[in-house]
Amino acid sequence: PGVVHYKGEPLIDIVADPITVDAKTTAVYSMPCTASLVEGMSLMKAVGMLSDYDMDDLKLDLSIRLKLKSGLSAPLKFKNISVTKLLK
């Protein structure tokens, strides 16, 4: 799961379905996901927050769990990722 923040305030929850990746690869994978406003965030409030929109103010917190065929798994957490840099 992940959360997009705008100017430090949670705005959008992101959830992705599990995907399978090949071992020892450098391939780029698409990861379909679903986005929704965070609990307690109305559409009107979100529109108001974005009235002075600057993409550089969008940051992403992301948690990923990697699971190997052997059953071993490891969580990865990323905080404050710039959405602008992520989309480049």
Whole-prediction pTM value? 0.78
Residue 67: pLDDT band by 50, 70, 90 thresholds?
confident
pLDDT attached to residue 88: 78
Percent of the chain at pLDDT > 90 equals 47
60-87: average pLDDT: 87
Three-state DSSP state, 59: strand
pLDDT attached to residue 34: 95
Asked whether residue 68 carries a pLDDT value surpassing 80, the answer given is no
> Which has more pLDDT, 36 or 55?
36
| Phi then psi dihedrals of residue 61, to 5 deg | -105, 135
**The total number of residues written for the chain in this structure:** 88
